[in-house]
Structure 1
């Protein structure tokens, strides 16, 4: 049968396994000892094993049910490959080109790794060679890239950041450094233990309470029987332990959880641990990180203002297209896509032999191109045969033009103010050393995010936004989305403290986040929710992974968990009623032999103690099989309006079914002559 260690998450079934194993040894010993009742012992032992079998059968049927679904998502982990460098020196300038690819798990503190443009920083570390711009959005929430250099004080790299410029960096891993970002998170996580919900704690107390109660009664019965001169076989005592334990509830509990998990998986929701299901029913506050969760987390072009209003739209978009046609940064890609959409079939054919792309780099913090002799690229009034195009921040473009920012034309400064007031970012574009226009960049809201937040709020759940970004941007987005509250410039430590404060006030908190700065808060929250695109460390801190960007999935989780809670509630009252009824079935039969006067309690006239024990064991196994359809039942039937009806139905069923069916089995067993 099943390995008992695999049943460790279900202690009641583990006890049944141990008892069945002992009963098997006793039955075999009786067989070799030629005992008169060895056949009955073997039959009873068989039904003990069937009790476990039917409980596991429910789980197997659930697995088959969801494995047939085409929409189930396979959640697989893959290990990242790292470019490791063994040594650096000042005499060899090409050392950054000599590396060995190794698995992420083999990297240790002090190792040197190479990071190229577009790569994610896999560990905390210090820049020891190279210079480049690094996007630290996932750790700080800020979208603007930060310059990192081995010769500068700002040389730390944080897990989850990525290299944004065309430069390269060599980093020394500092996993063990006490003051590193990774070490701080590790210290915070060490003191976090996500608590089970009150519903799950109550259910486990009921299961163990019933178990302890009935086992105590059993020992009392054994003591009274021994005092009365009734010799109860050991195997009968073992059987009565199984009969009186809440095996039905324990046997189907895990199957119901598996069914709920499978149902959520078809909605692209991966449940990583059962605590999420336990807490979901009571969620009343949803806390959301901004960058990457509410917003895309990447600056994208949303508009352009040309300095010369007489230029044709086709010419303007042609210049912008040329500036970014080979730009593989997120901003460059967005500019290219924006202009391609505008130009449609008028996208220019570029002679790349005359096109020189200038990438964004630490030594050249603006990007663009030089394109010579471009016939056909003409404005209405002027033919341009040379395109020297640059785009960059206000500061860098002013340096390029040798111009003070305050000396910019009035209309440009006014437009810059207008863009910043709506929490946008500015890129200046020059053409042939003259300001051409202003690109309006913004971290766009995710699609449908406003409707999703409204849907959550309509279900009487508070929504709060936390972000490491500045207060202006946070306030603008929170107001636009109608959030109940927001907090800006929040560090990972403050996020953790904020979640704890909410929990201490009695709230059940679900936290959404996708960056390494959210790890501690995700681990502390009652439900930590991240996304499939997140790095592995963030997923490990969460107990729910969404394979889509729909934050309203918390309602799906809560609804499924409500159905599960009602099913478990129905099984609990059934198990309680059935265990009490089985007590009144077994006790009269047990003492009728020693005390004939107690036969008046044997209302159903059971044939013998042997028959009652065997019939009860068979009922105990078969009732689990009969109740398996509850696991797969229609969720609509289990609405909150029918809660009391279900509890009454299963409560009465639990009390009456043992008397009816144990008596029926007793008659069948007696007719077959098994006892």
Structure 2
């Protein structure tokens, strides 16, 4: 598959079958994959058990370790046991070779099959009379390690979805639904519908995605999002099915159930990712294809050269077989699967859902990252920054309490910020009467017999009241004014607060030489203030969602490699246009169809971690591929006898030892990847 246009192909295929998990086809694919994993696992363990006596009986191992264990017919026993491993353990590779040769694309399966077929055929011939050495232990160890590599690779692509599927199985079987008369009834979660109201008591699992109608609590979402700390939840906040309620009872209005739930969407996304391989994985397979031709050519050349030098046929044949066995490095079979396995599990634990592995690895090429402002660099909610009473007889907190009482009846984000601040200060606002909106100006209501108005700067101007000194201190603040019976009694300043993690994330990316830009629909003054505070390289203000795509096109035309972060809904065209599209969101908004990578949390540190980890993953893959290939570059000529004139020739025993050492180094190098991502 040509991954250069992978993003658009993936989007098209996803549109045609985005509910693959829902039908029998998706179910069959998943079951087929699970069957293959079990098959490789079974073949590996059976082959490994049979390998042990073969290793013990191997003359080469006996010489290396320094013991002797021989008996009449021991070679025939080795032949019988090796035949079992060859035909049972080696069957997937022999079958894979046939498939690859039919497609005229020899790759890893063909290379493995060549090595094991040559080793088995030659060793069997030696057992039955040909003069030479047997290679049974090399044969079975090669099959064992290749089975292990394929088992690990297949497990890795199933790992993230398996964890989520296991979590889905742990969902409560019943939910406590509130009937219209207020009574509660226990019903199977399969009977829940969107719009139902359910009660979740302290310590219980939340049975469905929904919105809190009553109550507040801390909810543990760590198994779903990777966020270790329980998340504070209150009225109007969204909750995810499968998360664990804390100490408070919650009444929740169900929004998504079953296949439309967060868990099902995430499982579907990971399943889509399982069907594709990255360019680096394809590179490993191409390397195996080239090694097949090299092994074949090197083996034939070795045979011809030694015969032409006057050596007997048996010796020349032994050299040829040694070359062809050594040409199949164990390490190459594990080079990419080990890294994929580790990066998949580590990513899933940190709330990174990778749909396009090529884009994930391409994050190393990024020159520009465009951040959305609201909800990513900022908290996405207005917070009170200052509040001050004007005139005698009232303190600042009393002003805030009056404002909170009136704003409590409003659904505006500014109102939510004022009410939230009053709760933080444990204030107890009164109950207003005759609440009403004043179009284009603000709100008003009666409170304790007084007419309380909360007005915008424009509303204050229409009333003919001058703005008090010190009301405006920062360009990124929004200020509202509180009046009692038409008299100004104070003001409250609010701002969409910058997240604490934003500065660290931006500094981290800048150290990598990446330019940081911001695109926001907010006005020029707010965008400028955020940009200056965080030290961005530039910003685009008053941008409509459809304009972001053009911004990315313009940057790409200048040679920039661009990552775009967005909420995955309004930003879909921009995410599709970007070289790396990163959807950020919380709760049920993670299933963005056009993004390459989805971050469950909107934390900008996760974006920085993702970009660095993608680069580190690619680097580890390439290091392993080059190490595995490097082993061949050195070992094959030595096995062929290039330096035989100098008395240096690679024996099968030393070749096997080097092969094992190469495998160990690749495995240890892959493990180092775990240190590349910060919590």
TM-score by length of 2: 0.54
Distance 1:291 1:361, change over 3 A: same
**Contact 1:48/1:621, CA 8 A, preserved across alignment:** no
Matched with 1:313 is 396
Matched with 2:140 is 46
What whole-Å deviation, never above 9, does each CA across 1:49-95 have from its counterpart, x for those lacking one? 2131343577699999x99xxxx99998999xxxxxxxxxxxxxxxx
Please give the alpha-carbon distance, in whole angstroms, between the structure 2 residues aligned to 1:63 and 1:74: 14
Please give the alpha-carbon distance, in whole angstroms, between the structure 2 residues aligned to 1:40 and 1:234: 12
Equivalent of 1:274 in 357, 365, 377: 357
**Contact 1:308/1:436, CA 8 A, preserved across alignment:** yes
Matched with 1:408 is 463
Please give the alpha-carbon distance, in whole angstroms, between the structure 1 residues aligned to 2:483 and 2:370: 42
Q: 1:325: how far off?
A: 4.1
What whole-Å deviation, never above 9, does each CA across 1:199-254 have from its counterpart, x for those lacking one? 88987765654454444545667899999997999999999666424552342222
Distance 1:237 1:599, change over 3 A: closer
Please give the alpha-carbon distance, in whole angstroms, between the structure 1 residues aligned to 2:449 and 2:535: 49
| Alignment partner of 1:300 is 2:383 | yes
Mapping of residues 27-42 of structure 1, within 5 Å: none
Please give the alpha-carbon distance, in whole angstroms, between the structure 1 residues aligned to 2:315 and 2:145: 22
Distance 1:322 1:470, change over 3 A: closer
Pick 1 or 2: higher relative contact order, CA cutoff 8 A, min separation 6: 1
Please give the alpha-carbon distance, in whole angstroms, between the structure 1 residues aligned to 2:417 and 2:303: 79
Matched with 2:513 is 460
Please give the alpha-carbon distance, in whole angstroms, between the structure 2 residues aligned to 1:73 and 1:559: 25
Matched with 2:574 is 521
Please give the alpha-carbon distance, in whole angstroms, between the structure 1 residues aligned to 2:342 and 2:301: 39
Please give the alpha-carbon distance, in whole angstroms, between the structure 1 residues aligned to 2:438 and 2:165: 41
Mapping of residues 48-67 of structure 1, within 5 Å: 48-56=142-150
**Contact 1:295/1:446, CA 8 A, preserved across alignment:** yes
Please give the alpha-carbon distance, in whole angstroms, between the structure 2 residues aligned to 1:11 and 1:512: 40
Structure number with bigger Rg = 1
Please give the alpha-carbon distance, in whole angstroms, between the structure 1 residues aligned to 2:511 and 2:436: 45
| Alignment partner of 1:337 is 2:420 | yes
**Contact 2:581/2:596, CA 8 A, preserved across alignment:** yes
| Alignment partner of 1:386 is 2:449 | yes
SS at the partner of 1:332?
A: helix
**Contact 1:519/1:538, CA 8 A, preserved across alignment:** no
Mapping of residues 633-652 of structure 1, within 5 Å: 633=672
What whole-Å deviation, never above 9, does each CA across 1:151-197 have from its counterpart, x for those lacking one? xxxxxxxxxxxxxxxxxxxxxxxxxxxxxxxxxxxxxxxxxxx9988
Range 219-228 or range 304-313, more displaced:
219-228
TM-score by length of 1: 0.54
| Alignment partner of 1:509 is 2:547 | no
Distance 1:616 1:367, change over 3 A: same
Q: 1:315: how far off?
A: 3.4
Distance 1:337 1:204, change over 3 A: same
SS at the partner of 2:529?
A: helix
For structure 1, the residue ranges without an aligned partner over 5 or more in a row are 80-99, 105-115, 120-193, 372-384, 399-404, 589-597, 638-675
**Contact 1:422/1:476, CA 8 A, preserved across alignment:** yes
SS at the partner of 2:624?
A: helix
Mapping of residues 23-422 of structure 1, within 5 Å: 46-56=140-150, 209-218=290-299, 243-245=326-328, 247-263=330-346, 269-304=352-387, 306=389, 308=391, 311-325=394-408, 327=410, 330-342=413-425, 344=426, 347-348=427-428, 355=431, 369-371=445-447, 385-391=448-454, 407-412=462-467, 418=472, 422=475
Q: 1:335: how far off?
A: 0.9
Q: 1:636: how far off?
A: 8.8
Please give the alpha-carbon distance, in whole angstroms, between the structure 1 residues aligned to 2:545 and 2:397: 46
Please give the alpha-carbon distance, in whole angstroms, between the structure 2 residues aligned to 1:587 and 1:254: 30
Equivalent of 1:442 in 473, 486, 495: 495
Distance 1:280 1:309, change over 3 A: farther
Please give the alpha-carbon distance, in whole angstroms, between the structure 2 residues aligned to 1:235 and 1:102: 71
Please give the alpha-carbon distance, in whole angstroms, between the structure 1 residues aligned to 2:532 and 2:597: 28
Q: 1:320: how far off?
A: 1.6
**Contact 2:518/2:540, CA 8 A, preserved across alignment:** yes
Matched with 2:637 is 584
What whole-Å deviation, never above 9, does each CA across 1:625-646 have from its counterpart, x for those lacking one? 5642232249899xxxxxxxxx
Distance 1:243 1:602, change over 3 A: same
Matched with 1:489 is 542
Give the aligned length: 481
Distance 1:618 1:500, change over 3 A: farther
SS at the partner of 2:536?
A: coil
Matched with 2:14 is none
Matched with 1:533 is 586
What whole-Å deviation, never above 9, does each CA across 1:481-509 have from its counterpart, x for those lacking one? 22111112333443223324434433333
**Contact 1:19/1:238, CA 8 A, preserved across alignment:** no
Please give the alpha-carbon distance, in whole angstroms, between the structure 1 residues aligned to 2:398 and 2:649: 99
Range 227-236 or range 273-282, more displaced:
227-236
Please give the alpha-carbon distance, in whole angstroms, between the structure 2 residues aligned to 1:360 and 1:213: 82
**Contact 2:378/2:498, CA 8 A, preserved across alignment:** yes
Q: 1:466: how far off?
A: 1.2
Please give the alpha-carbon distance, in whole angstroms, between the structure 2 residues aligned to 1:261 and 1:483: 31
Matched with 2:40 is 2
Please give the alpha-carbon distance, in whole angstroms, between the structure 2 residues aligned to 1:231 and 1:27: 11
| Alignment partner of 1:629 is 2:664 | no
Please give the alpha-carbon distance, in whole angstroms, between the structure 1 residues aligned to 2:278 and 2:556: 13
Please give the alpha-carbon distance, in whole angstroms, between the structure 2 residues aligned to 1:362 and 1:432: 15
What whole-Å deviation, never above 9, does each CA across 1:574-596 have from its counterpart, x for those lacking one? 333321344335545xxxxxxxx
For structure 2, the residue ranges without an aligned partner over 5 or more in a row are 1-38, 42-91, 172-190, 196-209, 214-275
The CA RMSD over aligned residues, in Å, is 5.9
Matched with 1:188 is none
SS at the partner of 1:490?
A: coil
Q: 1:255: how far off?
A: 0.8
SS at the partner of 1:516?
A: coil
Please give the alpha-carbon distance, in whole angstroms, between the structure 2 residues aligned to 1:265 and 1:312: 50
**Contact 2:307/2:316, CA 8 A, preserved across alignment:** no
**Contact 1:255/1:631, CA 8 A, preserved across alignment:** yes
SS at the partner of 1:489?
A: coil
Matched with 1:92 is none
**Contact 2:433/2:445, CA 8 A, preserved across alignment:** yes
Please give the alpha-carbon distance, in whole angstroms, between the structure 1 residues aligned to 2:119 and 2:638: 25
SS at the partner of 1:411?
A: coil
Distance 1:358 1:620, change over 3 A: farther
